[in-house]
Each structure stands twice: as structure tokens, then as C-alpha cells.
Chains A and B, each alone.
Chain A
Amino acid sequence: NAGVMQNPRHLVRRRGQEARLRCSPMKGHSHVYWYRQLPEEGLKFMVYLQKENIIDESGMPKERFSAEFPKEGPSILRIQQVVRGDSAAYFCASSWPGQGNTEAFFGQGTRLTVV
């Protein structure tokens, strides 16, 4: 059973370009979380999705950022018109529906560098 897969592991974008980060949850998991980790800072919640639904996007910046988790395929975190301040590590975690024993499994992360 493969773990949470994120790709690419490293992504370099020029200012103004778009960044697409992909997350394939573990098999059977229907919940996906995205977190951002800025240099020298902790893990910050961005968005929580279930299949085809955004449950909580309270941590998402109001502009340029969007996320989706379609019925088929990976979850996508999309950053439009990237700026230098978007440079960070973006981690995805997945879990199964909570029934008393849920836990989150993390991917290796995508390190975005905006030049």
C-alpha cells in the first residue's frame, strides 16, 4: 500500500507563473489536508477537502490559491501568479473518514521555489 504521494518533490517557478502541486492520498483515504511550511516557521493549515468538496479553507490565502480533490485523480493545490513569498514546503496529508481511529499520513512534500 503506497503512502501519500506528492509530486513534484521540487518545483521552481518564475514570478507570475502558475504552480500546480499534486497529492495522491493513500488507497482508501477520502480526506486530504494541505499544509504550508515557510522557512523557520511551523506547519500552517491551508485547506481540508473530501472527495469533490472543500470542507474547510480557512487557511487559504484569499487570492491566487485554490484547491480541488476530484472524484478521480489526485488533489491539486494551484497557485496562480506566484510571488517570492510563496516559496515554501507544501505538505499533503490524507486520512480515512473518522470512525474513532483516524490518523493523518503525510507525503514527502513539495518544495516550491519562486525565482
Chain B
Amino acid sequence: AQSVSQHNHHVILSEAASLELGCNYSYGGTVNLFWYVQYPGQHLQLLLKYFSGDPLVKGIKGFEAEFIKSKFSFNLRKPSVQWSDTAEYFCAVWMNRDDKIIFGKGTRLHILP
């Protein structure tokens, strides 16, 4: 069965630290890839997305992600985090065969001021 794995369930960093959140999926076909963010008490918002082209995509608020097809990965990065980045981050994959979007379990990011 297809799945999406987020390696870290809970990450704690200090402000200005660099961030990388892992995401792997198990599906060999065509995919679209997403990272969503959920700030405390709010709904999910799209952070960035990859459909095709340049595998390095840039999103809002200084986030970026790199699609590495050979590793089935789509890791999220930010060079210097801020306290306001405290949120839960979800990786999601659309798989063309099923025409369905599957989410990872999420990573809770806590930034210490």
C-alpha cells in the first residue's frame, strides 16, 4: 500500500537554527508533492508544492523543499527558523494511479525563543 512517512514526530529547535524535516513516500508512479502547515488553532495552509520541473521548490516564509526522485523523498528545509514557525507540518503526496492525496502523520515543530 502506498504510504507517506515523516521521520520526525516532534522537533525542538532554537531560533536561527537550520531546519530539515524528512518526508518519504512509497509509490513508483507520477506524484505531486506538498507541504502543509498548521499553526496552533488554525486550519491547514499550503506551504509549497511540486508538480514538475525544477526539483527545488521555494514556498512561503523562506521554506523550500527538494524532490529527489531516486530517494522518493521531499524534505522540507529552512536555513534559519523563527519562533513564529512553531506549528505542525504535514507532507502530502498525490499519486496519479489512485487520484488521491495521502498525508503523513505530521511533525510538530517547536521553536524556542
Asked if B32 and A101 make an inter-chain contact with CB atoms under 8 angstroms apart, the answer reads yes
Asked if B51 and A104 make an inter-chain contact with CB atoms under 8 angstroms apart, the answer reads no
> Chain A binding site: helix, strand, loop or mixed by DSSP?
strand
How far apart are the CA atoms of A95 and B49 in the complex, in Å?
A: 14
Task: Pick the contact of B94: A42, A45, A102 (CB < 8 A).
Answer: A102
Asked if B100 and A55 make an inter-chain contact with CB atoms under 8 angstroms apart, the answer reads yes
Choose the segment among B57-65, B66-74, B77-85, B102-110 that binds chain A (4+ C-beta atoms closer than 8 Å): B102-110
Asked if A104 and B102 make an inter-chain contact with CB atoms under 8 angstroms apart, the answer reads no
Contacting B at CB under 8 A, from A68-106, are 91, 93, 95, 97-98, 100-106
Asked if A107 and B96 make an inter-chain contact with CB atoms under 8 angstroms apart, the answer reads no
Asked if B102 and A106 make an inter-chain contact with CB atoms under 8 angstroms apart, the answer reads no
Task: Pick the contact of B101: A42, A100, A104 (CB < 8 A).
Answer: A104
Given A98-B99, A104-B101, A106-B44, residue A43 in contact with residue B106 (CB < 8 A): yes
Which residues of the partner chain B approach A42 to less than 8 Å between Cβ atoms? 88, 90, 104-106
Asked if A33 and B101 make an inter-chain contact with CB atoms under 8 angstroms apart, the answer reads yes
Q: How many chain B residues touch A (Cβ–Cβ < 8 Å)?
A: 26
Contact with A along B31-68 (1 / 0, CB 8 A): 01010101000011110010110000000000000000
Given A55-B100, A56-B100, A106-B43, residue A98 in contact with residue B94 (CB < 8 A): yes
Task: Pick the contact of A100: B44, B49, B51, B104 (CB < 8 A).
Answer: B51
Given A103-B32, A104-B101, residue A109 in contact with residue B94 (CB < 8 A): no
Asked if A104 and B52 make an inter-chain contact with CB atoms under 8 angstroms apart, the answer reads no
How far apart are the CA atoms of A85 and B4 in the complex, in Å?
A: 26
How far apart are the CA atoms of A11 and B36 in the complex, in Å?
A: 25
Which residues of the partner chain B approach A95 to less than 8 Å between Cβ atoms? 94, 101
**How distant is B75 from chain A, measured CB to nearest CB, in Å?**
18
Residues of B near any A CB (own CB < 8 A) = 30, 32, 34, 36, 38, 43-46, 49, 51-52, 88, 90, 92, 94, 96, 98-106
In the complex, besides A43-B103, A100-B30, A104-B92, 11 extra interface pairs with C-beta distance below 8 angstroms are A42-B106, A43-B44, A43-B105, A91-B44, A93-B44, A95-B94, A97-B99, A100-B52, A101-B32, A102-B99, A107-B43
